A = this chain, B = another copy of it.
Amino acid sequence: MTYGDSRIYKKVEVIGTSSQSVEGAIQTAVDRAKKSLDKLSWFEVQEVRGHIDDTGKVTEYQVVLKIAFELS
């Protein structure tokens, strides 16, 4: 990559979930994005939320993130 060379990136907004951790939810979202998009480059966390079940346990982390990838 060379700076100054008119690269273009696009960002998409996705929500990944994980029963384990914030990091797990991020990787889940990136994995899915990787299936349909090439040249993923970085992510930015927008929101961290989660589900609480009837017993008061956090059973799901939901991370809203933007994923940026280079357009060719």
Chain A positions within 8 Å of B, measured between CB atoms, are: 3-19, 21-23, 26-34, 39-45, 47-61, 64, 66-68, 71
Q: Contacts A4-B59, A60-B3, A71-B32 known; A49 to B42 CB distance under 8 Å? A: yes
Considering the chains assembled together, what is the distance between the CA atoms of A47 and B4 in angstroms?
17
Known: A5-B17, A8-B17, A9-B14. 4 other contacts (CB 8 A): A4-B17, A6-B17, A8-B32, A41-B52
Q: Of the candidates B7, B26, B56, B61, which one forms a contact with A40 in the assembled complex, judged by CB atoms under 8 Å apart?
A: B56
Instruction: Tell me if B15 and A8 are in contact (CB < 8 A).
Output: yes
Chain A interface helix/strand/loop/mixed = strand
Instruction: Tell me if A43 and B50 are in contact (CB < 8 A).
Output: yes
